[in-house]
Amino acid sequence: MEKVLNKILDEHLREKGNLISLLQRIQETYGHVPEESVFWFADRLDIPASRFFGVITFYPKFRTRPIGKNTLTVCCGAACHIKGGDKILETVREVLALPEGEDTTTDMKFTVQQATCIGACSIAPVVIMNKEVHGGTDPVKVTKLIKGYEGEEFLGYL
Amino acid sequence: MENSSIEIKVCLGTSGRASGGEDVLNLFRQFVFERGIEAQVGKKCELTKVGCRGFCSKDVLVDVIIDSAKTTYQSVTPTMVERIVLDHIMGGNPIAEWTTREDYAAFHAKQHKIVLGPCGEIDPESIDDYLAMNGYRAARKAITKMMPDRVIDEVAKSGLRGRGGSGFLTGEKWRTCSAQPRSPKYIVCNVGEVNRPLAEGNPHAIVEGLLIGGYAIGATTGFLYIRERYHGSVERLRNALAQARERQFIGKNIFGSGFDFEIEFSFGTEAFICGEETALMESIEGKRAMPRLRPPFPAIAGLWGMPTVINNAETFSNIPIIIGKGAAWYSSIGTEESKGTKVFTLSGKVKNNGLVEIPMGMSLRDIVYGIGGGIEGNKALKAVQVGGPSGGIIPPSMIDMGLDYESLRKVGSIVGSGGMVVFDEDDCMVSVAKFYMEFLQRESCGKCTPCRIGTKRMLELLTKITNGKGEDNDLKILERLSGVMATTSICGLGRTAPNPFLTSFNHFRDEYLAHIRDKKCPAGVCTALITFTVIEDKCKACGLCRRACPADAITGAPKKPHVIDTARCVKCGACYKACKFKAIKKQ
């Protein structure tokens, strides 16, 4: 880990980055911001760790827990909402059997996120699987989408 | 024939891609190049990926232009490509049943596309396409032939106002900043979610606008502030920047004038508060995005305490047009106080969903029924929400109002960034107000008390009402809270947060009272307030509802009307949807 963190630190110093860009770099590398990395950087940069956590907890995109292999983002903006976006989120959580308060499946295959509005209102409701936008979706389509990313094996809950 | 050519334009905006535009484009490429179509028909063939042209509900849209005769196909899927190539491109017979219908023409007829004009026509990844439509001409003119003050005068005279938030005069904002003696100065372009089609359809216009703005105020650095998640937009802008740098439109000694200007990305993360300019600056500085107290205004002390101008991408896209065509031309469009055009995302329950650009002052009716083609399923219009989550809800009785800054302010709404959501008779206004409050409460940054606690309390009260537990007094508290928040919050988020409630309460008071006094949701949305029953004489005892019910709450025998056990019913509505005879009553 040390080696990777040193590389991130070098880049950060070279590009005169700020806390957000540093955290973005860490998250890009690990998929989340490991707590120990915060203390490591806090030490090296002489910035209180609390300042890091302040930024991490302010922006919903930063996460301190590991992320699943696939990220499914459900848009919950107004246009998606009135076209049934809430039903889609419900379906997704049900299909993936996510317990209350959890956003990642226990097998680490999927993480479910909510977006406020992704600006694709004309094809609402919208979900994003990894980087791919899927418009005009519904509970049946989204279930199929998830199934498509699960691979061949039967996982029991579908 | 010398000039004979074939051009195929495939829409690859966010929606075009989502509908499989990449596959369609690749298939066309396979057919045309690998099978040597060019040689067979003896015409040069060009394939172009274009940005969003707005009519997203019929994506993928494909233009086939043979010797300047244009045919537009709608809802194109990969399986249709072969026939288009064989029948149309090789055979010369356009396939009539696949072309766009009247709605496509009606959708475009009433629009006035200035900033969206090139989107859907040019290849957004090609600087040559942009240059061919006089791109970077305005920047060259401004930088080599006009003093910065003249540029600002021109923008001020055009009457252009900020297209993102409060609608401040862009020229005046620039003038204040340019008058500051301190340097360096910064100029920031906020690329918000509604600006994505611009960034993906014509990114060079944003870069050019930013460049002209930078020259006008004397900035050395411009920032493109964009959410990292908007991959497509980031890619296109990154590409545009690289091309502009290669041609030396940005960098050192631009157009040999001695003016240096750099543009950098600043990647934000999704947070609604970042639409507020001082919060956005905090975010660029790498901090929690909490708004600053004003004054000092950003034009005087902004990024890192230096004079800073912030405008959004739509505002910047207008700049090259104003400089190129002149302030007088620009200000001939629109109303007395609101000049030019505005892009709106028309969404919700209208037939034609999409991105539209209208002259300021066009009536809501023309947008919803003209461009939008009316309400889906020919249901009744209930309301239109304009201006995003903190905009206001406008009832059908006011549908003839013109859309401009003043008129919208008068009815408790805002232009905002141009969100427009249409609701029909099936939508409950109390629940809609609650939805927006839920969003605003989540997005409130928590810095000032009126907004932090106000949004929370308002959400609790609205939830209470939709759960059927509301009392008359709740409405009084909601109104009082709204007043306090609107007058005492630090920034626009808190000040406008009560808008959805206030406007819906104003125009749909009876609906609030029905929830509170009669414990009924007239639109049949609020689960706690609806019951499902079988209308006996309509029931054909087919058993569809019984099988659809996940809670086993429906019983019935052949030839006997079915019965819903309200105690077991979970109000999911599955029976209502399953019934083919409209025999289930929801109220």
Closest CA to B213 of B120, B312, B121, B302: B312
Query: Is 1.20.1440.230 the CATH classification of the domain at B429-516?
Result: yes
**Which residues of chain B make contact with A89, given a CB cutoff of 8 A?**
none
Element (H, E) at B475: helix B472-488
Query: What's the complex ipTM?
Result: 0.85
CATH of the domain spanning A70-148: 3.40.30.10
**Which residues of chain B make contact with A79, given a CB cutoff of 8 A?**
345, 347-348, 419, 421
Residue of A nearest to B440 (CA): A116
pLDDT of the residue at B96: 92
Residue length of chain A: 158
CATH among 3.90.470.10, 2.60.40.10, 3.30.70.20, 3.10.105.10 for B531-586: 3.30.70.20
The DSSP letter of residue B348 is E
Contact state of A132 with B355 under an 8 Å Cβ cutoff = no
Is B61 within 8 Å of B49 (Cβ atoms)? Answer: no
**Which residues of chain A make contact with B344, given a CB cutoff of 8 A?**
none
Sign of CA dihedral A42, A48, A54, A55: negative
Supply φ then ψ for residue B579, to 5 degrees. -65, 130
Closest CA to B61 of B69, B51, B106: B51
A97-to-A63, A112, B123, B236, B366 alpha-carbon distances in Å: 21, 11, 44, 37, 46
Contact state of B271 with A60 under an 8 Å Cβ cutoff = yes
| Predicted confidence band of residue A61 (pLDDT cuts 50, 70, 90) | confident
pLDDT of the residue at B518: 95
Q: What is the CA radius of gyration of chain B?
A: 27
pLDDT of the residue at B94: 93
Contact state of B346 with A122 under an 8 Å Cβ cutoff = yes
Q: Kindly give the pairing relationship between strand A70-75 and strand A110-115.
A: parallel
**Which residues of chain B make contact with A126, given a CB cutoff of 8 A?**
18
- Its CATH class, for the domain covering B341-424, is alpha beta
Is B151 within 8 Å of B136 (Cβ atoms)? Answer: no
d(CA A81, CA A124): 8
**Domains B134-331 and B531-586 equal at CATH topology level:** no
Contact state of A134 with B18 under an 8 Å Cβ cutoff = yes
Please spell the DSSP secondary structure of B277-345, one letter per residue: HHHHHHHHTTS---PPPSSSPTTTS-GGGS-EEEEEHHHHHHHHHHHHH-HHHHHTSB-SSSBSEEEEE
Is B574 within 8 Å of B549 (Cβ atoms)? Answer: yes
Element (H, E) at B107: helix B102-109
| Predicted confidence band of residue A60 (pLDDT cuts 50, 70, 90) | confident
3-state secondary structure B160-184: CECCCCCCCEHHHHHHHHHCCCCCC
Please spell the DSSP secondary structure of B193-218, one letter per residue: GGGHHHHHH-HHHHHHHHHHHHHHHT
- With a cut of 90, say whether residue A151 has pLDDT above it: no
**Which residues of chain B make contact with A24, given a CB cutoff of 8 A?**
228, 267, 269
Is B194 within 8 Å of B419 (Cβ atoms)? Answer: yes
Q: What token pair was written down for B266?
A: 């600043």
The DSSP letter of residue B125 is T
d(CA B161, CA A108): 48
Identity of the residue in A62, A82, A117 whose CB atom sits nearest the CB atom of B193: A117
Q: What token pair was written down for A36?
A: 């120990």
Identity of the residue in B271, B284, B345 whose CB atom sits nearest the CB atom of A122: B345
Residue of A nearest to B350 (CA): A122
Terminal C-alpha separation, chain A: 37
| Predicted confidence band of residue A152 (pLDDT cuts 50, 70, 90) | very low
Residue B333 sits at the vertex; the CA angle it makes with B329 and B337, to the nearest 5 degrees, is 110
Q: Which residues pair with A73 in a beta bridge?
A: A113, A128
d(CA B270, CA B407): 30
SS3 B577: helix
pLDDT of the residue at B123: 93
Is B199 within 8 Å of B236 (Cβ atoms)? Answer: yes
CATH homologous superfamily of B134-331 equals: NADH-ubiquinone oxidoreductase 51kDa subunit (3.40.50.11540)
SS3 B434: helix
d(CA B192, CA B443): 15
Contact state of A135 with B19 under an 8 Å Cβ cutoff = yes
d(CA A33, CA A5): 11
**Which residues of chain A make contact with B196, given a CB cutoff of 8 A?**
119-120
Q: What is the CA radius of gyration of chain A?
A: 18
Q: Order the strands of the B251-254 sheet from edge to edge.
A: B251-254, B259-268, B221-227, B186-191, B308-312
Closest CA to B433 of A40, A49, A78: A78
Residue of A nearest to B55 (CA): A122
Single-letter residue type at B389: P
- Whole-structure pTM value: 0.90
d(CA B362, CA B415): 13
> For chain A, where are the E strands, in sequence order?
70-75, 110-115, 127-129, 132-134
Q: Which residues pair with B251 in a beta bridge?
A: B261
Q: How far is B191 from chain A (nearest CA, A)?
A: 11
d(CA B487, CA B336): 28
Contact state of A122 with B354 under an 8 Å Cβ cutoff = yes
Q: What is the pLDDT along chain B (587 residues), one digit of tens a residue?
A: 345 788 999 988 888 888 889 999 999 998 888 888 888 888 888 888 898 888 887 889 999 999 888 999 999 999 999 999 989 988 889 999 999 988 888 899 899 999 998 888 899 999 999 999 999 999 999 999 999 999 999 999 999 999 987 789 999 999 999 999 999 999 999 998 889 889 999 999 999 999 999 999 999 999 999 988 788 899 999 999 999 999 999 999 999 999 999 999 998 877 889 989 999 999 999 999 999 999 999 999 999 999 999 999 999 999 999 999 999 999 999 999 999 999 999 999 999 988 899 999 999 999 999 999 999 999 999 999 999 888 999 999 999 999 999 999 999 999 887 889 999 999 999 999 999 999 999 999 999 999 999 999 999 999 999 999 999 999 999 999 999 999 999 999 999 999 999 999 999 999 999 999 999 999 999 989 998 999 999 999 998 999 988 888 999 888 888 999 988 888 888 899 889 999 998 88
Domain parsing of chain A, residue ranges = 2-58, 70-148
Chains A, B: CB contacts within 8 A come to 126
Closest CA to B443 of B460, B456, B431, B434: B456
B517-to-B189, B369, B381, B521 alpha-carbon distances in Å: 49, 35, 25, 11
CATH among 3.40.50.10880, 3.40.250.10, 1.10.3720.10, 3.40.30.10 for B5-109: 3.40.30.10
A112-to-A93, A130, A137, B269, B273 alpha-carbon distances in Å: 8, 10, 16, 17, 23
d(CA A23, CA A17): 10
Reported as a single tens digit per residue, the pLDDT across A5-47 is 999 999 999 988 899 999 999 999 999 999 999 999 999 999 9
Contact state of B228 with A133 under an 8 Å Cβ cutoff = no
Domain parsing of chain B, residue ranges = 5-109, 134-331, 341-424, 429-516, 531-586
d(CA B220, CA B226): 19
CB-based contacts of B411: which residues, under 8 Å, 6+ apart?
B392, B394, B398, B401, B503
Supply φ then ψ for residue B500, to 5 degrees. -60, -40
Identity of the residue in A24, A118, A122 whose CB atom sits nearest the CB atom of B57: A122
Range A37-59 average pLDDT: 95
pLDDT of the residue at A155: 45
d(CA B441, CA B579): 38
Single-letter residue type at A127: V
Is B265 within 8 Å of B238 (Cβ atoms)? Answer: yes
B486-to-B416, B453, B459 alpha-carbon distances in Å: 16, 13, 16
Q: Which of B280, B287, B357 to mutate to test the interface with A (most CBs of A within 10 A)?
A: B287
d(CA B214, CA B319): 12
Contact state of A61 with B286 under an 8 Å Cβ cutoff = no
Residue of B nearest to A114 (CA): B270
- B2, burial (CB in 10 Å: exposed 0-12, middle 13-18, buried 19+): exposed
Q: How far is B260 from chain A (nearest CA, A)?
A: 20
Is A120 within 8 Å of B18 (Cβ atoms)? Answer: yes
